[in-house]
Structure 1
Amino acid sequence: MARLIQAIEAVAGIFLVLIALLTVTEAGLRYALGMRIPDAYIGATALQGIAIAWGIACTTWTRRHISVDAVYLLAPVWARSAMNVFASAVTFLAMGTLMWMLWRKTGQSLRSGEVSNDLLLPLWPVIAATATGIGAAAALGFLRLLRDMMEFRTR
């Protein structure tokens, strides 16, 4: 599982680097030479969506997301386990629903022939990459839910 999480983090990191490179290059060309990279805004937005989706996948498994632990830390062990199960179930359902909607959007984009403004590149692969990241989050959320349920049963 550690290797999978590292791979997912690497994917998110690569997309963040690409966003930074695209943004710096676009700004430099615009201010220095009065030129622009076609579809740079759409590209950066698409890359950002992919990076966020894959980052969510990592935090789903590792629980490194923002949380408020005041009640959790004061609760007895059995209540913490119950809270973990509830939180994992909500996360899994939310990620599963989001994944389903993104795959629907991918299909709609593919059927409609939706393209970018300047280069007329199809947008469905970007939406599919984002949906795949959220799909990874849903799968990891399901595994986390199973793990939390097993821990709850053994307490």
Structure 2
Amino acid sequence: MRIFLEAVPAALLLAMALLTSVSAATRYLINTPVPDEFEISRMLLSIVVCWGMAAAFYYNDHIRLDVFWGRASLGAKKILSRLGTFLSLLIIVAYSVALWLKVLDTMKAGLLTIDLGLSVWGFQFAAWLGTLASAAILLTQTIWPPRHLIDEPHIDQAL
């Protein structure tokens, strides 16, 4: 799971970089950009963001208020951790439902890219899978919180 969460965004970022570089080179060399380069790069970026959220939630490597966390007792840390994870889960589930409805709407509309005629819903579906992975990770962490976040030794105890 961990390798997949890292490999998907990394491969897509590489594809975006290569696509942009090739388009810039062809624009300079033969005065013709790669067809749909901007649209494809934009849609790949949305997939990277959604899968990147899943990786951030998996590693629990997102922004938190360390001012409150550092001063909280062990019991308060457990409560704050579960509460924060649960709130994140609610937000991601709502976002995932909204994105799924957008995927269905785009699929029904038959929206295609201008130059190559690629189906847009496939890109949106791949991004939706990233939000689904985020929701699954957050649900797991809500039920079984990661112990390494709560059982950190305090500075006073280490001395």
**TM-score for the superposition, normalised by structure 2:** 0.88
Does 1:121 find its partner at 2:106? no
Does 1:21 find its partner at 2:18? yes
Task: Please report the RMSD computed on the Cα atoms of aligned residues, expressed in angstroms.
Answer: 1.7
Partner of 1:111: 108
Does 1:66 find its partner at 2:44? no
Unpaired segments ≥5 residues, structure 1: none
Equivalents in 2 of 1:149, 1:37: separation in Å? 45
SS in 2 for 1:148: coil
SS in 1 for 2:61: coil
Equivalents in 2 of 1:75, 1:82: separation in Å? 10
Alignment of structure 1 residues 4-153 onto 2, 5 Å: 4-148=1-145
Deviation of the 1:67 alpha carbon:
2.7
Unpaired segments ≥5 residues, structure 2: 149-159
- Structure index of larger Rg: 2
Deviation of the 1:149 alpha carbon:
9.6
Q: Which amino acid aligns with 2:55?
A: C
Q: Which amino acid aligns with 1:13?
A: A
- Identity, % of aligned pairs? 25
Deviations 1:77-133 (A, max 9, x none): 111111101110011111111111111111001101111111121111000000001
Equivalents in 1 of 2:129, 2:17: separation in Å? 22
Moved over 6 A (4+): none
Residues 103, 128 of structure 1: 8 Å contact kept: yes
Deviation of the 1:28 alpha carbon:
1.4
Q: Which amino acid aligns with 2:120?
A: L
Deviation of the 1:33 alpha carbon:
2.2
